[in-house]
Amino acid sequence: MPNLAEVTHQVDLLLQTGQAMVVAAVAVDSFREINDTLGHQVGDDLLVEVTRRLHLSHPDAILGRIGGGRFAVAVPAGDTGDDPSMFGLGIRAQVEGGAQLGPVGTHVRLSVGCVMAPEHGSDGATLVRRAETAMYSARHVHGGPVLWEPAYEVQGQRRLAVVMALREALSSGAIGVAFQPKLDARTGFVTGVEALARWTHPALGSIRPDEFIPLAEASGLMGPLTSTVLRQSLTACKGWQRRGGRVGVAVNVSAETVLDAGFVTELAALLTAVDIAPDLLTIELTESVLVADPVLASERINELRAHGVKLSVDDFGTGYSSLTYLKGLPVDEVKIDKGFVDDVVDDAGDRAVVRAVVDIAHTLGLRVVAEGVEQDAQHLLLAELGVDEIQGYLHARPMPALDMAAWLRRRDVSTLV
């Protein structure tokens, strides 16, 4: 099967004849996870099957493998009715679906990005690269197809600028942390605070975690980012303790960082260095870590637990339904995602989800936190549904450590000791 260089060369040759073309970049969703969890043999079988289906769908197309689970498919424009979206949809229709890979049954899903030539580029390399850029956006819109737009280039430049600035910010200590309290749903007592990374860049301004966390993950910067957030959080926690308040802090940790072999050791060393009781620290994990590698994840979770650290499953209900993973894992709480809280008052479906999560969590002996609570009515209803703790703008926005100390003093958190 042709590789990236060969595909771009073939596209170049066809373009030189003045031929208008459509080029699609196709990614097999979750290829890496499948490869890592089910083994390379299954991964290879999957690629063979996808190749076969791609070839069947467009026997005369230029077809090549451009990376891990990624392919390029290029055809003369006339063959597709000149509509790249129809081309992309056609590929999905013919390639997606169930597949039996040896003993393993799976479901193939694709993300597809498309470009047109000459509109979107005049050489094979540019066209394939732009189709891939569109393909990455397709991941966020149920697979697409997404047609490339010039705006993606600008976004790409922004991403690059942000990654470079982030690397610099991490080495100069410019990443800060804000803290947001969690309250007992019935008594209103503070049960702990969550640490949230904050970054203001001198030229780029304030950059939201939703932008820089995914970029840090994609560029190998999560290790140093987590270290600085942990260090600042534990130091702040120690500070509050000195002022008489024993309040725990929760830190968000990405899947990759938790699975990293060195993480638990680093954490233990930090707890000792700052001199904090381990049960004052909660690690918030998202469901994806449990799904990506359940065996390794539970090993790490057990190690963390053995150090006395608490564990929380974040954004619960948004990803895969991991209620099954939850069973048998030594976690202490689940956080119901804001998505279910927003409409909990009006939407019977969301209410049912909250009720079900509370039910199961309580059966397993876990506490339930609702996040993103903005209205009294939501707080009241969530408390009624059995939610144990409330976090949200209704009670407090994330704030710097010193403001948090003043806020805690006003709430007289010391009575909780």
- Residues in contact with ligand C2E by CB under 6 A are 180, 196-197, 208-210, 213, 229, 252-254, 314-315, 371-374, 391-393, 398
Q: In what order do the strands lie in the sheet with 62-67?
A: 62-67, 70-76, 21-28, 110-117, 146-147
Distance between CA atoms of residues 289 and 298, nearest Å: 9
CB of 205 closer than 8 Å to CB of 161:
no
Distance (Å, whole) CA 397 – CA 371? 12
Per the structure block, which two tokens stand in for 330?
A: 């030594």
**Out of ligand C2E, Ca ion, none, which partner does residue 210 contact, by CB within 5 to 8 A per kind?**
ligand C2E
Cβ-based burial of 231 (10 A; exposed 0-12, middle 13-18, buried ≥19): middle
**Cβ atoms of 25 and 72 closer than 8 Å:** yes
Q: Judged by CB under 5 A, does residue 284 bind Ca ion?
A: yes
The residue (of 146 and 276) whose beta carbon lies closer to ligand C2E is 276
Residue with token string 């990614």: 27
What is the sign, positive or negative, of the torsion defined by CA atoms of 216, 120, 11, 48? Answer: positive
Residues near 200 by Cβ (< 8 Å), separated by ≥ 6? 174, 176, 206, 207
Residue pair 145/92 in contact by the 8 Å Cβ criterion: yes
Rounded CA separation 199/2 (Å): 44
User: Taking CB within 5 to 8 Å according to partner kind, which of Ca ion, ligand C2E, none is near residue 237?
Assistant: none
Q: Is 132 in the site for Ca ion (CB under 5 A)?
A: no
Which is nearer to ligand C2E, 12 or 374 (by Cβ)? 374
Nearer to Ca ion, 284 or 287 (CB): 284
- Cβ nearer to Ca ion, comparing 96 with 333: 333
State the minimum distance, in angstroms, from the CB of residue 304 to ligand C2E: 15
45-53, 87-95, 126-134, 279-287 -> range binding Ca ion (CB under 5 A): 279-287
Binding of Ca ion by 389 (CB under 5 A): no
CB of 17 to ligand C2E, least distance (A): 49
Closest to Ca ion by CB, 213 vs 215, is 213
45 binds, among Ca ion, ligand C2E, none (CB under 5 to 8 A by kind): none
- Do residues 90 and 84 lie in contact, with contact meaning Cβ atoms separated by under 8 Å? no
Rg, C-alpha atoms of the chain: 25
Residue from 314, 333, 350, 389 in contact with Ca ion (CB under 5 A): 314
Tell me the closest approach of the beta carbon of residue 263 to ligand C2E, in angstroms: 12
Where does this chain touch Ca ion (CB under 5 A) — which range of 134-142, 180-188, 251-259, 391-399? 251-259
CB of 228 to ligand C2E, least distance (A): 9
372 binds, among ligand C2E, Ca ion, none (CB under 5 to 8 A by kind): ligand C2E
Q: Is the dihedral of CA 319, 321, 322, 323 positive or negative?
A: positive
209 binds, options ligand C2E, Ca ion, none, Cβ within 5 to 8 A by partner type:
ligand C2E
Helix (H) or strand (E) holding 405: helix 401-411
> What is the distance between the alpha carbons of residues 7 and 1, in angstroms, rounded to a whole number?
10
Chosen from Ca ion, ligand C2E, none, partner binding at 2 (C-beta under 5 to 8 Å by type): none
**Shorter beta-carbon distance to Ca ion: residue 137 or 318:** 318
Q: Which of 358, 386, 391, 353 is nearest to 372 (CA)?
A: 391
Report in angstroms how near the CB of residue 257 gets to ligand C2E at its nearest: 7
Q: Which is nearer to Ca ion, 71 or 325 (CB)?
A: 325
**Position 252 contacts Ca ion (CB under 5 A):** yes
Task: For residue 287, state whether it binds Ca ion (rule: CB under 5 A).
Answer: no
What's the one-letter identity of residue 32? R
Of 61 and 195, nearer to ligand C2E (C-beta) is 195
Only one of the segments 5-13, 24-32, 296-304, 312-320 lies at the binding site for Ca ion (rule: CB under 5 A); that segment is 312-320
Residue of 45, 96, 132, 315 that binds Ca ion (CB under 5 A): 315
Would you say 369 and 351 are in contact if contact means Cβ atoms under 8 Å apart?
Answer: no
The burial of 318, by beta-carbon neighbours within 10 Å (0-12 exposed, 13-18 middle, 19 or more buried), is given as middle
**Smallest gap, in angstroms, from Cβ of residue 284 to Ca ion?**
4
Kindly list the residues in this chain that would bind Ca ion in the complex (CB under 5 A).
252, 284, 314-315
